[in-house]
A and B are shown apart, each in its own frame.
Chain A
């Protein structure tokens, strides 16, 4: 069975510092991996995805994520955090092409401190 874990409920980082939000996954086949961001009382917005190819994926708002097959991880990163990056971040994994086979992590709340 597929699953995704976000081991940190909360991440705090100072403005201007690099940030990392962690995600690990478990699938039996090739994973399709996604990151979404959610601002208070809003829907989720897509940030980036890994399907195949380069392990480093670049996405919206300066975010990037590194796919590591051996560690089954897909950590979200940004070189310099902004206060406006403060939000709830979700990692998701899909195994295969089934439209219903998308599983979300429990989310990590990122707070960027001015």
Chain B
């Protein structure tokens, strides 16, 4: 079955450590996204990529980094510069077209900083 796989589902980190969240899709979608979800705040866009080897900052990119070396993969690194990294992180992709398609989401990764 096609879909988006995020790993790990739960992750604990000590302050000052970088962590990388994996996102893999086999939907053959070009565009991929990373969102952060906090209670009562909805989803906020961290980074997005519309094509391999290209990505753009979203609304809250500070303290995060991404890469897009393959169409299927869009990993997110939460760096030590992110002051409040505890959150639920969602990866998504969108089928090619005119921008009217809906997002497909992974199951999310919950990061807790100890």
The contact of B45 among A43, A46, A49, A100, by CB within 8 Å, is A100
The contact of A99 among B6, B50, B104, B108, by CB within 8 Å, is B50
Chain A: number of interface residues, binned into ranges: 20 to 34
Among residues of B, the one whose C-beta sits closest to the C-beta of A46 is: B102
The contact of A41 among B33, B105, B108, by CB within 8 Å, is B108
Among residues of B, the one whose C-beta sits closest to the C-beta of A44 is: B105
Which chain B positions have C-beta within 8 A of A106? 40-42
Which chain A positions have C-beta within 8 A of B41? 106
Q: Name B's A-contacting residues (CB within 8 A).
A: 4, 6, 9, 31, 33, 40-43, 45, 48, 50, 56, 58, 88, 90, 92, 94, 98-100, 102-108, 110
Q: Name A's B-contacting residues (CB within 8 A).
A: 9, 32, 34, 36, 41-46, 49, 51, 90, 94, 96-102, 104-107
Q: Are A44 and B103 in contact (CB under 8 A)?
A: yes
Q: Are A104 and B107 in contact (CB under 8 A)?
A: no
* CB contacts between A and B, total, < 8 Å: 62
Among residues of B, the one whose C-beta sits closest to the C-beta of A97 is: B99
Inter-chain pairs besides A44-B43, A90-B43, 13 sampled, C-beta below 8 Å:
A32-B100, A36-B105, A42-B107, A44-B103, A46-B103, A97-B98, A97-B100, A99-B31, A99-B48, A100-B45, A100-B58, A105-B42, A106-B41
If A32-B100, A49-B102, A97-B99 touch, whether A104 touches B43 (CB-CB below 8 Å) is: yes
How far is the CB of A92 from the nearest CB of chain B, in Å? 8
How far is the CB of B60 from the nearest CB of chain A, in Å? 13
Among residues of B, the one whose C-beta sits closest to the C-beta of A99 is: B31
The contact of A104 among B42, B100, B102, B108, by CB within 8 Å, is B42
CA–CA, A107 to B37, complex, Å? 11
CA–CA, A42 to B90, complex, Å? 9
Among residues of B, the one whose C-beta sits closest to the C-beta of A9 is: B40
